[in-house]
Amino acid sequence: MLTDHPNLDLLLLGGRVRGVTGAAVGTWTTSLLAGLSVDVAFIGTNGLSSRRGLSTPDEAEAAAKSAMLEAAARTVVVTDSSKFGVDHLHSFAPLSAIDLVITDDAAERDLLAETGVEVVYA
């Protein structure tokens, strides 16, 4: 669908694809991301908490997400409210690295308001 938009450049990442999440991970992925500069990164997360920020149980996925955030001028986290207050083994970004959260519930409104993160409920 995206290839039909004439003003959009669609880039695909190389690397190993995790079966659980479908994410591209590994050194191929992080090496490519290190050379990019993107306007907006849309990132998912397995956990979002004041203690650990954004986290995931997979080390390779954490490295890829961290590399994407480094490449991005603006970071948008898209997550459902079940991830709030959850910590996983690998943290990949502090809450201060987030510009916008798109979520389904106001459960963590106070947590996000304290950080100055903009929140959209969809």
* Pick from 50, 44, 57, 46: nearest CA to 108: 50
* Pick from 115, 101, 32: nearest CA to 70: 32
Q: What is the pLDDT of residue 69?
A: 97
Q: What is the pLDDT of residue 21?
A: 84
Dihedral sign of CA atoms 97, 55, 65, 12 in order:
negative
- pTM listed for this prediction: 0.86
Q: Which domains does the chain have, with CATH numbers?
A: 37-121 (3.40.50.1360)
| pLDDT tens for each residue of 34-89 | 999 999 999 999 999 988 999 999 999 999 999 999 999 999 999 998 999 999 99
Cβ proximity of 43 and 55 under 8 Å = no
